[in-house]
Amino acid sequence: MNKEFKVLAKPYMVWLSILVFVPILAMVLISISNLDSSVSVGELVISLNHFKLLLESSTLIAFRNSLIFATATTFLSFVFGYFIAYEIKLSKFKNKFILLTIIILPMWSNLILRTESLANIMSENNILKSILGFNLFGNISGTWMAVLFGLVFTYMPFMILSVYTALEKIDFALEEAALDLGLPPIKKFWKVVFPLSLKGVVTGSIMVFLPTLAGFAIPKILSRGQIVFIGTIIENKFVYTNYNHGALLAVVILFFILGSILLLTKFDKEGETLL
């Protein structure tokens, strides 16, 4: 590629540098000081006062909830998602694009509407009950099962797409060779296919884990306010204009995100195959 085009990248490099680092710096600064719209630069006090928030029992429990649900969601998305991706790969259907479309289509509906509908049919008396006469989901609204169900089926498409992309790239010749050498199909899968698709699994896992960890809309609606996530607390802080505390919690989440990015670089040296 002609070296002349290097200049095209320059604006983007400036853009990324500013928009990635400046907001994060602002956030870190706000989390460790009393910077506020009412405080001028002269009155700035750096203090670790806000860190007391981290020791509140509600904060710790919220963190625990977020981590547990994020892990569980990622695991279930992996199991279900990998299965579907593999089935699509194997399917004799000529047009895989249509199959993928069917998977992505729900994502085009507004997330809040979808979640509210789920909350609706998970309650004891709901619209499906009035049509069908019985309750499809039992009465799980407000419980962890409702939240888990909502989270898994909202974020599974990401996992499916990632895994499918990785699976598609596997040269079929490799599989044929494995079969020729006498491996039964199951072993072929575990020893040849799965390791080659690992990159897709890791990418997909990160794309499920991170939004679940930091999200608040889905848990709030499906748990009827009962199960508190770290995102719920951050949103509360924002609504009650306590930016300092909110920033602090957001910074903590940022550590997780940076950790995940580093993990991703281990699996994908070029950082170019998230999709």
Write out the binding residues for other proteins, residues 76-135 only, by CB under 8 A.
80, 83-84, 87, 95, 97-98, 101-121, 123-128, 130-131
Give the residue with the Cβ less far from other proteins, 179 or 257: 257
State which amino acid sits at residue 195: P
Give the residue with the Cβ less far from other proteins, 71 or 242: 242
Find the shortest distance in angstroms from Cβ 272 to other proteins.
5
Binding segment for other proteins (CB under 8 A), chosen from 2-10, 40-48, 171-179, 193-201, is 2-10
- 55 lines the binding site for other proteins (CB under 8 A): no
Find the shortest distance in angstroms from Cβ 177 to other proteins.
18
Give the residue with the Cβ less far from other proteins, 175 or 235: 235
Q: How far is CA 105 from CA 171, 216, 273, in A?
A: 28, 23, 23
Give the residue with the Cβ less far from other proteins, 163 or 210: 210
- 72 lines the binding site for other proteins (CB under 8 A): no
Residues numbered 135 to 174 that lie near other proteins (CB under 8 A) are: 141-142, 149, 152-153, 156-157
- 40 lines the binding site for other proteins (CB under 8 A): no
Binding mask 205-234 for other proteins (x = CB under 8 A): -xx--xx-xxxxx------xxx-x--x-xx
CA distance 156 to 107: 10
Binding segment for other proteins (CB under 8 A), chosen from 41-49, 172-180, 193-201, 243-251, is 243-251
- Listed residue (231, 83, 243, 219) closest to 149, CA to CA: 219
CA distance 198 to 167: 9
Single out the residue of 89, 145, 189, 235 in contact with other proteins (rule: CB under 8 A).
235
- Listed residue (222, 84, 208) closest to 152, CA to CA: 208
Give the residue with the Cβ less far from other proteins, 108 or 134: 108
- 184 lines the binding site for other proteins (CB under 8 A): yes
Give the residue with the Cβ less far from other proteins, 178 or 250: 250
- 62 lines the binding site for other proteins (CB under 8 A): yes
Q: How far is CA 176 from CA 128, 163, 184, in A?
A: 48, 20, 11
Burial 144-160 (b: 16+ CB within 10 A, else e): bebbbbbbbbbbbbbbb
Find the shortest distance in angstroms from Cβ 97 to other proteins.
6
What token pair was written down for 144?
A: 């962890």
- 57 lines the binding site for other proteins (CB under 8 A): yes
Residue 212, phi then psi, degrees to nearest 5: -65, -40
Find the shortest distance in angstroms from Cβ 174 to other proteins.
20
CA dihedral 64, 141, 145, 148 (to 10 degrees): -70
Give the residue with the Cβ less far from other proteins, 196 or 264: 264
